[in-house]
Amino acid sequence: MIGAMILQSERCLLRPYRPTDVEWLPELANDIEVARWTSTSFPHPYTPADAERWTKRASNEDPVDSFVIEVDGTPAGGAGLRPQTGEGRGVAECGYWLGRRFWGRGYATDATRLLARYAFGTRNLRRLEAYVFAANPSSGRVLEKCGFVREAVLRQAVTDRDGVVMDAWLYGLLQSDARHAPL
């Protein structure tokens, strides 16, 4: 970790969103293959207006929950936390996405490791959760490489963007697990 809110590995870094991220975001995010396995809160098509709304909100977070993934100084995608409240306090859902040209190179794994370190260290969370469409096993492999455990199959829990109902997998990682995980 360097600086106040920049998280860095040898391969990539996570940094908070800036208002200027509106410039690259629509080009990278407006790809159905990128959006396919994300929550529908990630719009498709992804317009400049969507980028404007997102960067305005994300660049003002305190504490920071949303990060840009950069590879060699180039924005590659995003990663973030969605902390729970009430009885779920201390738990956050985590997620990530990458532009297609960055797939298959380990950047999602590195970004998820950085995000988990931040969540358990700076944010002092006790648990991270991630939901994966069963038809997207690559995302599950990313989580498993980071020490997450598939805890449940949620039968017919999600509907993809084409209207197909499918199972989702729930992955979890505890702060206490992270001491033994490859973070």
Backbone angles phi, psi at 140, to 5 degrees: -65, -40
* pLDDT tens-digit readout, 96-116: 999 999 999 999 999 999 999
Q: Say what the pLDDT of residue 135 is.
A: 96
Q: Which of the four CATH numbers 3.40.50.970, 3.40.630.30, 3.40.50.1100, 3.30.310.10 does domain 7-178 have?
A: 3.40.630.30
pLDDT higher at 3 or 183: 183
Q: Per-residue pLDDT averaged across 24-35, rounded? A: 96
Cα 132 from Cα 176, distance rounded (Å): 22
Q: Say what the pLDDT of residue 182 is.
A: 64
For the whole model, what pTM was predicted? 0.93
Q: Say what the pLDDT of residue 5 is.
A: 77
Which H or E run includes 58? helix 48-58
Q: Express as a percent the part of the chain with pLDDT over 90.
A: 91
Cα 42 from Cα 65, distance rounded (Å): 16
Q: Per-residue pLDDT averaged across 143-150, rounded? A: 96
